[in-house]
Structure 1
Amino acid sequence: MKKRIFTLFLLLAVVVGLFPAAMAAGTEQITVRFYDEVSQRYSEPTVTDRVNLTLDGEALIPEDVPALAYYPEGSTNGRTLVPVRLISEALDATVTWVPETRQIIILREESTIVLTAGSATALVDGQAVELPDGVPAGGVMWDGKESTMVPLRFVSEQLGAGVEWVGETATVAITSPEEPQQPDPTQPQEGDLGWITELSFDEEEQTFTITADHTPKYRIVDLGDRLAIDLLGAVYAPAVGKDLTLQVESDAIEKIRCSQHRDDLGYGYPHTLRVVLDLASGVSYAQHLSVSSGGNQVRVSVTDVPEEPEVPPLDPSKITIAIDPGHGGNQPGAVYPDENGNDVKEKDLTLPMSLMLADILEERGYNVVLTRTGDDSVSLADRAKMANAAQAEVFVSIHCNALDRTDYEGIFTYYYPNSTRGEALAKQVQAGVVAATGGIGRGTPSANFQVLRETTMPAVLVETGFMSCPAELARLCDPDYQQQIALGIADGVEAYLKAGT
């Protein structure tokens, strides 16, 4: 019961600094109970004083348990308890409660404070520190509400805030930390290398040029569908305080963006200019671009543009469905031994299931485009491009799953995040496969898979079962079971199309 209450109603709080035992005249008294971590019980009711709380002169009023005085045993001096979430968020810190270890984790910028209920020792950036007067974090109950109390003066000073006790009004006054003065972002600072003077794109030469007033120093960050070039110690005035975008005419580069950073990218310079090239579908830095430098310039050149995939002749009166057998060629996918000890490759399971699905859909009157029909290596980008070039109505990618345990099995169907039509297709396909096979349905989560992201039609990726589970692997190797999977996918696709989502 206690664990449930703490999970539902936990309000973190903090103990602030030492103040005289004498309180202001007329201070309101309240009755509370303190939680003992050893006996795991609350104490008998204790009468204590309510305390006021301000931040930068403005009142801070807790929503549940009020700020209150706490008197350590044997001491005539008191401390104040106040909700830590209230003060932490006011000081731009985040608070996390870990019920398994009964720890409070407070994060602000690069500072990490960890306090444990019942312990007078805290961890500050990984170092053990004794709490003032040995007052530990602990629970308090008041008027049917519960809070976990932790030391505020310690916490607030670690976060850079000031704390002052105002006895006349029984108030703890907290002062926000001063913001460090930031250098002017529009000017190179000491330690920078200089200015970027021009960004230009030559459409005829298909070359993007960065020009500086110095010999540029740069780093390349390959992000797959984007290429980032970080120019160290460089300032580009037009990019200060805004996201600057350059539209370009190119089959390989969709657009070029740049943003002015200070020292937040970790290079050790006061400024860094980040230039990002958004690449067209199927284009990669390794295969289609080159970066060179000389003098006061850095150049990005398009060396090759991938060709459009060939699409077989299609009947324009029929709906087209793209089927993607996962992996292939030099990409075997998951590999697990069957009951005879022979290795089974994922690519050799997804292809027959895909061919069966193609036969079923063609018999039902649909055009079918397969991203591979044999043991071929096909890039993820080319799979999406083929479906897009065929102007398919639906895209289905077929895979098998794996996990580092042998007792987990079941079917997943994924769709691209925030795709309403993709989600509707996933639910129909998942229902169809589970019904046709009798397998365990594990749900329809979203995922940022490239074949789902780069296809322009509703798209799903079906994980037909876990090869890491021997029983399910045996079923996946069975042609009759493969036929059931194909039939279930076909039924799901048809149900989606008939619903007209």
Structure 2
Amino acid sequence: MKKTLSLILVIIVFMSMTISSFGMKKFEKESLQIIDGSNNKEYDVPTVNLIMGGRDIISDVPGMLFNSRTLVPVRFISENLGAQVKWNQESKEAIIKTDTKEIILKIDSPKVFVNGTEHTLPDNVPAKLIGYDGNYRTMVPLRFVSEQLGMEVGWIGETMTATIDKPLQKIKDITYDGSDKFPEIVIKTTGEVDTSSFFLAGGEVGGDDRLVVDIPNTILDISDQSILEENGLVNIDVYSREVKTITAEQSGEKPLKTRVTVDVDRKKGHDIFYDKQKNELRIKLINSVKNVKVDEIYNVDTVLIQTEEAPAYNVMFLKDKVVVDVLDSLLKDDEDYITVDKGVIENVRFSQFTPDQNYEPDDKITRVVVDLKDDTSMDNVYIQHAENQIYVFVAGKPLDRIDYYKDDINLAKLEITANTEGKYLKEYNRSKNEVQLKLPKDNIMLDGLKMDIDDSIVKYIDIDDKSSDKYYNISIKLSEGTSFKDDSGSGITDKIMFSFINNKVKESRYKDKLIVIDPGHGGYDSGATGRILNVKEKDVNLEVSLKLKKLLENEGFKVYMTRDDDNYIGLYDRPAIANELGADAFVSVHANSAGNSSAQGVEVLYYPNDGRGNKTFANIMQNALVQGLNARDRGIIQRPKLVVIRETKMPAVLLELGFLSNQREEQLLSQEDYRQKCAEAALKGIIKYFDTVLMK
């Protein structure tokens, strides 16, 4: 797959760091220190993961096991179960109301009233006022309240996870519908169901591209025997438009779920909705706009539109505004508005657009409008796209006429397009491992800038527009092991075409080895937050992971990241991605936190005693981190209940790179060069593990 302008994609990492996280975090701790508000006694209680409808619930206070019963913040009830919650300060009562139910829970009382009838709470565990991290919250019994509101509650003891689902349903049929503009997979059920999903871009590492949809608390009960195999697996050959096959299988253990996998021929966006009138779950294959951002790229104000798949779009230049219509797409978020007032950009607006006379009535269009300041010349607006990103450059064209892209992990190409045929000069400096070009200024217009590509093939491209009046001097710094070839045909051309190949990577002993890197947290789950600089763990994890990915690819490894931007990936989805890809190793990247601000150092968590060699992997990674970071050695720690390292089928570790709760380590983890050191230390550990254990 052609990966145009891969250099820009590096910039996106830093743009994503500005998104707020609402103070939410997923907890890796096995226990929490709490205060019982009724008697001010302190307790250590186990944490409980919460998954509702297949999706992780993230809150500022986690679920907890109190006297063998799961308590959750009453806010969970109001935000996730559709109930209204009121608090009566005088009587210390929480009142939970729906159209058909009124539940009254009194703090520290085992008695509860449901529609006026008195009941006793299971195990006499009452609602509690719990203090955690300096705040007090009303905590209510999860199972009793959820079941009263028509939900079913399950328990996964191995990972301390409570599941909250709609009532059990059966899946009766699965079909493909290609009659509409957008293909759909139609799943007949006996009643309403929830879903969670992720897209596996396996094509990036030599696998298959597929959409994975989990339907919790369902039983596969297909009546059409023609699509059933002997083992009960549903298998439908489609091979129409983007869809190749559809499979479905029943999980063999509780909590029950059905996994539907749609193999497609390229990266696809999707939308999932349930039709209550028809009792149908419909999976529509359609692009979506998942984010709109504003930042500065190479000194040019830029609006970035991120889509789920390669976009099609129309552009209109109107007075003081640029309109970008992303065709055949849905807006993931609600209508929004960004006030910029920077440079020549005033605002950015985006919404789901109702088609006008320029479109068909059933067209799905996301409209992005960039409002410009008065008298901004449209000659200074430049729009292009790369993979699933649309760039609106305002007041500059930093990458006009120059196109760098990777065809493979060890192969890249550079194309420079001139106005007319003309001469160019090239020279290879062997001592610097650098290609130098001279391009006449009267035949092309380029901006002077340095593009830090830093992939496994090219380190940077430096365009010098100052040192000569007649020529642009372009320096292309090659990575170690890279050679180049001039494909232009002659020294007189209107398009310079170079191929670069890194033979070191091509011939690497690791070229068939796949590592899945899991940057912890993301999106609305910030993880830990530093106390002095407010450094967010999700940002540290992502930047270190991206740097580690580059280093691993430079050594010839195939690398897949569970996330490569600021979005949230489900707790069980992370190991599922690695398992689906058949990865050789799994590395989850995190930063630590503790109530004691003096806590410092690195540690590696692992799942014990299952024959994968996790302990050996953890020991090697811990030693590499201690030596590479000159950090305090806190040792390796068994974590048998931690989902991401328990559910993976390959050697897996979770790295804790330092404590954001420690002033010194937060300062270090805020620095780009230290994050680079973290990535380099992790690289050394991974290489040593492969050399001495997996490939010895």
* TM-score normalised over the length of structure 1: 0.42
The structure richer in strand per residue is 2
The structure richer in helix per residue is 1
* TM-score normalised over the length of structure 2: 0.32
